[in-house]
Chains A and B, each alone.
Chain A
């Protein structure tokens, strides 16, 4: 069935460094790839997304890249800040309405 793999499960960086989270998906028909940030006790918050007809998208310190051939997509956070500390989930929309989530990456940004 559809699956999204996410790595690493935990990532610790120093404030100001970059963080990279990688995901792979199994369903070649997937056409939309959102990234969510989840803080403790809250629901997932959409932070950036990319569609299958685009290779890269950037929004201030956050960027996402997509390699459709390899079925890989990645989140890049530059100049990390302590408030970036959270759990990040990648996801892939398969079919019309079903979103499959990765297992999550717990990001720690040390001041």
Chain B
């Protein structure tokens, strides 16, 4: 069964450093998403992406964040200058055209020290 994959599984970085989180969505999906989950809290929407453009973003997704689909398979989330409060699980998700169902990857745990 096709699945969303994410790398790395765990990323440790120092405050102020840039990080790039990588995702490979399901191959025939056209809509891509990033979410975050601070430990013990709810899953929060960050951004959706379609046709090489951001479709919608939350207030969390400020100028420090950017997304990119650099090639036909990868979808990345970049945080330019990490803060302690960026420590969280980051989940990538994807969905096919014309359907609502989103399929989530296993997540990347980001720890900012």
Contact = CB atoms under 8 A, between A and B. Distances in A.
Q: Is the interface of B mostly helix, strand, loop or mixed?
A: strand
Interface in B68-113: 91, 93, 100-107
B102 A104 contact: no
Interface in A40-60: 41-46, 49, 51
Given A97-B31, A98-B45, A43 B105 contact: yes
Interface stretch (A13-21, A63-71, A75-83, A88-96): A88-96
Given A43-B91, A49-B101, A93-B100, A98 B42 contact: no
Chain A, interface size category, equals 20 to 34
Given A96-B55, A97-B33, A46 B102 contact: yes
Interface string A32-45: 10101000011111
A98 B45 CA distance: 7
A99 B58 CA distance: 10
A43 B45 contact: no
Contacts of A11: none
A3 B41 CA distance: 14
A49 B91 contact: no
B56 A43 contact: no
Interface in B16-47: 31, 33, 35, 41-45
Interface of A: 32, 34, 36, 41-46, 49, 51, 89, 91, 93, 95-104
Interface of B: 4, 31, 33, 35, 41-45, 48, 50, 55-56, 58, 91, 93, 100-107
